[in-house]
Amino acid sequence: MTNAASVVFEDISYAYAPGHPVVKDVCLEVQPGEIAVLVGPSGCGKSTLLRLVAGLLIPTAGRLLIDGNDMSARAPEHRLVGWVPQSYALFEHLNVRDNVAFGLRMRRAAKETIRRRVGEMLELCRISELADRPVTQLSGGQRQRVAIARALAVSPRVLLLDEPLAALDPQLRTAIRADLQALLRASGVTTLFVTHDQEEAMAVADRVAVLRAGRIEQFGTPQELWQSPANAFVAQFFGGAAVLEAHWVSPGCVRLAPGVEGPVALTQTSGTLQIALRSQDLEIVPDLAEAGQFIPTAIEFAGESFKITGELIGAGTLTVMHDRPVTLGQRYPIRVKPGRILCVIGQHRQHT
C-alpha cells in the first residue's frame, strides 16, 4: 500500500457555535506514511481535528490539504480517508468479512477484487479466522482490528484513529499498542492518532502534536518534546515534569531552591528560567550540609524503587525516586543527582 498522502492543516479553525471555537488556527504538516499523534487533555479539540480531516466537519476558517489538494469542497464519501471512531462503530448487523468489505461494496468494486482485498486485510490485521463471526461476539481488541481492517480495505490515503486503545482493558493495552504500531507500519498509511495518554503517544508516534484548548502547543518527535518542551504545559502534560522557577548562579549553573543547584545546557546568566524537573533529576541523600530540604507527602511503591511526592522547601511540589521508604512529614536532604543536566523549558527551535 503506497498511496500514503501528506496532510496539511493551514490555519484551521472550527467552532460548533459562533464565538466558541474548539480548534484555533491550527497549522500542522504530516508527512506521507508518518504516524502523527495528537495528544492533549479531554476537550482540547483533538477528535474535532480528525472529523475535520474526514470531512464530517467543515472548518470555519483555513484550508485542509491532502496530498496537496484542497479538500474544502470535497464530501467525506469522496475523500478516501479512513476514520475509526473511539467506539469503532462496527456494523453490528454484518459479520466480520462483510464489515471489512463494506467500503468496497459501496464503491461497487468487482466481486473478485473485493474477495482478494478483504482477504488481504483480514490477513494483515490477523483476523482471518474470525471472518464469519458476527461482530457482536468479538473482544475489544478484535473489534478494534475489524474497524481498522474495514477502514484500510478501501486503500485510504489517510487513516484517522480516535483513541483506538481507550476501550480496551488496561492490562491488554500495552500489548495491543505494540501490535497496532506494527500493523500501521506494515500498511504504510499516513496516520493521525488521537490519545489523551502521553505514554501511548510516546510509544507509537513518529511525531507528536500536543494540544491545549484547540491550539497546538508543540509538534515534534517524542524525543524533542521530552528534551526541549516549548512551554510549561508541554513539560507537565507530555513530560510528566514538575515545573520550577530557577535563578542563575553562574554561567551554566542554576539554583532551584536553597541548597539545590544544578547544571543546564545554556551559558546565559541573566533573568530567570523555567526547569522541567523529572523524577530522575533529584535524589534524597544522607545528611549533607549543602542540600535542599524535602518533605514527603505521599509515597507509592513502584517495584524497583519508591515514587515519592513532596514539597521542596522554597520551590514547590515535585516527585523523586528513592530506593527506600521514607517517613511522611519528616525533612530529608535533597540535591540534583551528580551528572544530570536539567531540562530548560522554552529553548526548543520552532518547528516548521
Per-residue DSSP letters for 131-179?
TTSBGGG--HHHHHHHHHHHHHTT--SEEEEESTTTTS-HHHHHHHHHH
Residues 6+ apart with CB under 8 A from 294: 282, 284, 310, 311, 312, 313, 320, 331, 332, 333, 334
Nearest to other proteins of 11, 16 (CB atom)? 16
Nearest to other proteins of 107, 116 (CB atom)? 107
Where b means 16+ CB within 10 Å and e means fewer, 200-232 reads bbbbbbebbbbbbebebbbbbebebbbbbbbbb
Residue 48 gets the label, from left (phi > 0), alpha (psi -120 to 50) or beta, of alpha
Distance from C-alpha of 352 to C-alpha of 169, rounded to nearest angstrom = 37
Nearest to other proteins of 4, 312 (CB atom)? 4
Closest approach of other proteins to the CB of residue 103, in Å: 3
Closest approach of other proteins to the CB of residue 99, in Å: 10
Q: Give the containing element (helix H, strand E) for 52.
A: helix 46-54
Distance from C-alpha of 262 to C-alpha of 244, rounded to nearest angstrom = 13
Q: Are 135 and 143 in contact (CB under 8 A)?
A: yes
Closest approach of other proteins to the CB of residue 130, in Å: 19
Nearest to other proteins of 9, 102 (CB atom)? 102
Closest approach of other proteins to the CB of residue 77, in Å: 5
Closest approach of other proteins to the CB of residue 90, in Å: 8
Closest approach of other proteins to the CB of residue 37, in Å: 20
Closest approach of other proteins to the CB of residue 117, in Å: 13
Closest approach of other proteins to the CB of residue 84, in Å: 8
Nearest to other proteins of 8, 84 (CB atom)? 84
Nearest to other proteins of 155, 236 (CB atom)? 155
Nearest to other proteins of 33, 103 (CB atom)? 103
**Backbone torsions φ then ψ of 318, nearest 5 degrees:** -155, 175
Q: Which residues bind other proteins (CB under 8 A)?
A: 54-56, 75-85, 87, 89-94, 102-103, 106-107, 150-151, 154
Torsion from C-alpha of 37, 177, 232, 313, nearest 10 degrees: 180
| Secondary structure string (H, E, C) spanning 316-349 | EEEEEEECCCCCCCCCEEEEECCCCCEEECCCCC
Q: Give the containing element (helix H, strand E) for 49.
A: helix 46-54
Closest approach of other proteins to the CB of residue 54, in Å: 5
Nearest to other proteins of 152, 256 (CB atom)? 152
Distance from C-alpha of 239 to C-alpha of 71, rounded to nearest angstrom = 34
Nearest to other proteins of 91, 175 (CB atom)? 91
